[in-house]
């Protein structure tokens, strides 16, 4: 109680929530994890975060940072400890169009940054379904990916600098706006993807890019994933690398979507094994200025490429969006993935990555191995095919945790055979600790523990996450 009173003195009575006032912070979006925090703290400045950490460090009290509550792996579970919500640190401090950077606080909601950048004809090209509630601090802490990684990279690639509060309350200013800085270790990369276990990210310098002035978007059916990759490579060559999204929605996904959302119009008259959503973005006047007949060149290029592959029988069907409404409809199908995945239980959900040309091999191998574990299993898959990231879900016949772990281990076996990763974009949190224990290189784990000990010797920052 002395600690709580000290925190109230620093932050104000209204910004230290306990009991029923803190209840809404005690669960995650999946419903898998729930907890009762000792208190939820809502600082408004890095100075207040520093004061919180100094008090917590002195008391040896664990602190769990939290942003928009959109995590999927239990990374903000905080039973009986302090939760540090960054939601009030929500200022976009500055957008500098000439330098194409945004300086923002951690509590800025991703969609708000999208809107602010768009006012300058720019974009922050991190894009996924939870953008209306996910916050920049959480995006950085999990090194979030999404649909545009293919062209722009994940969150780490979009960050130039950070402001970080360390476990003992010291504030580290890494707010570089430089694209080149070789003055020692690039410390910011330690904190990106660390899920709040090494420090609390309070602000960031982020890269902006020119917002595409025209999009060409299509749904495409392909005979196999091999032909899908041919399409991807042809489009990259034809557009100079302007493919923004290349999403794989196989038969299992489309059939499940039809069950969950029968009101949605299917993209084709029949369901195919391989359905793709393709989007190309263009900024150059030559690609976006409509011709005399009203045709936008980038859309014509996409149509021409698809027509050629239809003639070669390398794709089976294609529909190109002719309006923004049709484009939005195509994106809506893909962005229902989380809802559709969680609509059925029990489930074993994974977030894996393999080399682009090994996606089909993974699917073939895992379906050959799962019957020995559970003959009645079903699966559903949706993937960012352009970067090899799959959200592969198994629906087992029973809610047996031993069976679930065996299924997860079988998936890991195939992933590692293909030199892939058991964790692509959602972070480790609690859910993937067994995978870290089984699969992460032991030397890498030793180095990670050494870094954790050096930066957080009392182990108070988000304990029990990431490191088994």
Distance in angstroms (rounded) separating the CA atoms of residues 11 and 53: 12
Among positive and negative, which fits the CA dihedral 324, 325, 328, 329?
negative
Q: Whole-angstrom Cα distance, residue 357 to residue 226?
A: 8
* Residue 468 preceded by cis peptide, ω within 30: no
pLDDT higher than 90, residue 450: yes
DSSP string for 109-171: BHHHHHHHHHTTTEE-----GGGGT-BHHHHHHTT---TTHHHH--GGGGEEEEEEE-TTS-E
Domains, the chain, ordered by start: 2-85 (3.30.43.10), 92-210 (3.30.465.10), 214-337 (3.30.70.2190), 344-426 (3.30.70.2740)
pLDDT for position 157:
97
Which helix (H) or strand (E) covers residue 171, if one does? strand 171-174
pLDDT at residue 169 is higher than 90: yes
Cα 175 from Cα 180, distance rounded (Å): 13
Summarize the confidence of residues 85-100 as an average pLDDT.
98
**For residue 32, is pLDDT > 90?**
no
pLDDT (mean) for 26-54: 95
For 390-402, what is the mean pLDDT?
97
pLDDT above 90 for 368 = yes
Does the pLDDT of residue 110 top 90, yes or no? yes
**What residue spans of 245-357 are helical by DSSP H?**
251-260, 285-288, 297-311, 324-335, 337-341
Q: Which residues pair with 423 in a beta bridge?
A: 351
pLDDT at 1: 84
Both tokens of 149, joined, read: 């990684």
Give CA–CA dist 88/44, Å, rounded: 5
Which pLDDT does position 180 carry in this prediction? 95
pTM for this model (two decimals)? 0.94
pLDDT over 90 (residue 400) = yes
Residue 29 pLDDT greater than 90, yes or no: no
Q: 206-251 pLDDT, tens per residue?
A: 999 999 999 999 999 999 999 999 999 999 999 999 999 999 999 9
Give the pLDDT of residue 31. 81
217 touches 320 (CB < 8 A): yes
- Is the pLDDT score of 124 beyond 90? yes
Q: For position 28, what pLDDT does the model report? A: 87
What pLDDT does residue 30 have? 80
Task: Tell me what pLDDT residue 187 has.
Answer: 97
User: What's the pLDDT at 72?
Assistant: 85
| Residue among 112, 14, 116, 98 nearest 68 (CA) | 112
């Amino acid at each position: 109680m002395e600690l709580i009173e000290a925190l109230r003195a620093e932050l104000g009575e209204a910004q230290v929530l306990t009991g029923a006032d803190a209840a809404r912070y005690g669960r995650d979006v999946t419903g898998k994890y729930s907890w009762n925090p000792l208190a939820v703290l809502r600082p408004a400045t890095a100075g207040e975060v520093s004061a919180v950490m100094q008090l917590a460090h002195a008391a040896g009290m664990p602190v769990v940072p939290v942003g928009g509550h959109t995590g999927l792996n239990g990374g903000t579970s905080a039973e009986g400890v302090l939760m540090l919500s960054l939601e009030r640190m929500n200022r976009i401090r500055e957008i500098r169009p000439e330098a194409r950077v945004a300086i923002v606080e951690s509590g800025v909601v991703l969609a708000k940054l999208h809107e602010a950048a768009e006012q300058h004809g720019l974009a922050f090209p991190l894009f996924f379904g939870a953008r209306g509630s996910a916050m920049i601090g959480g995006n950085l802490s999990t090194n979030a990916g999404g649909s545009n990684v293919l062209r722009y990279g994940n969150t780490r690639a979009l960050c130039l600098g950070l402001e970080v509060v360390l476990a003992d309350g010291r504030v580290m200013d890494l707010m570089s706006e430089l694209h080149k800085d070789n003055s020692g270790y690039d410390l910011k990369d330690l904190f990106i993807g660390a899920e709040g276990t090494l420090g609390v990210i309070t602000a960031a310098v982020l890269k902006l890019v020119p917002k595409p002035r025209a999009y060409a978007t299509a749904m495409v059916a392909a005979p196999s994933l091999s032909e899908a990759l041919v399409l991807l490579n042809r489009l990259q060559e034809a557009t100079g690398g302007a493919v923004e999204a290349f999403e794989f929605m196989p038969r299992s996904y489309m059939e499940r979507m039809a069950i969950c959302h029968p009101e949605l119009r299917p993209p084709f008259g029949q369901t195919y094994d391989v359905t793709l959503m393709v989007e190309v973005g263009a900024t150059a006047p030559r690609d976006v200025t409509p011709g005399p007949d009203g045709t936008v060149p980038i859309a014509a290029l996409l149509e021409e490429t698809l027509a050629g592959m239809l003639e070669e029988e390398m794709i089976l069907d294609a529909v190109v969006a002719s309006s923004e409404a049709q484009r939005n409809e195509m994106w809506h199908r893909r962005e229902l993935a989380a809802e559709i995945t969680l609509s059925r239980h029990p489930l074993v959900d994974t977030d894996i990555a393999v080399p682009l040309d090994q996606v089909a091999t993974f699917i073939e191998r895992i379906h050959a191995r799962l019957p020995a574990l559970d003959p009645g299993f079903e699966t559903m898959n949706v993937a960012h095919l352009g970067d090899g990231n799959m959200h592969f879900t198994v629906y087992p016949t029973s809610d047996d945790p031993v069976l679930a772990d065996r299924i997860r281990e079988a998936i890991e076996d195939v992933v590692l055979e293909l030199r892939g990763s058991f964790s692509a974009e959602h972070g480790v949190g609690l859910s993937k600790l067994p995978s870290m224990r089984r699969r992460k290189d032991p030397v890498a784990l030793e180095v990670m523990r050494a870094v954790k000990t050096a930066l957080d010797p009392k182990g108070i920052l988000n304990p029990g996450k990431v490191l088994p």
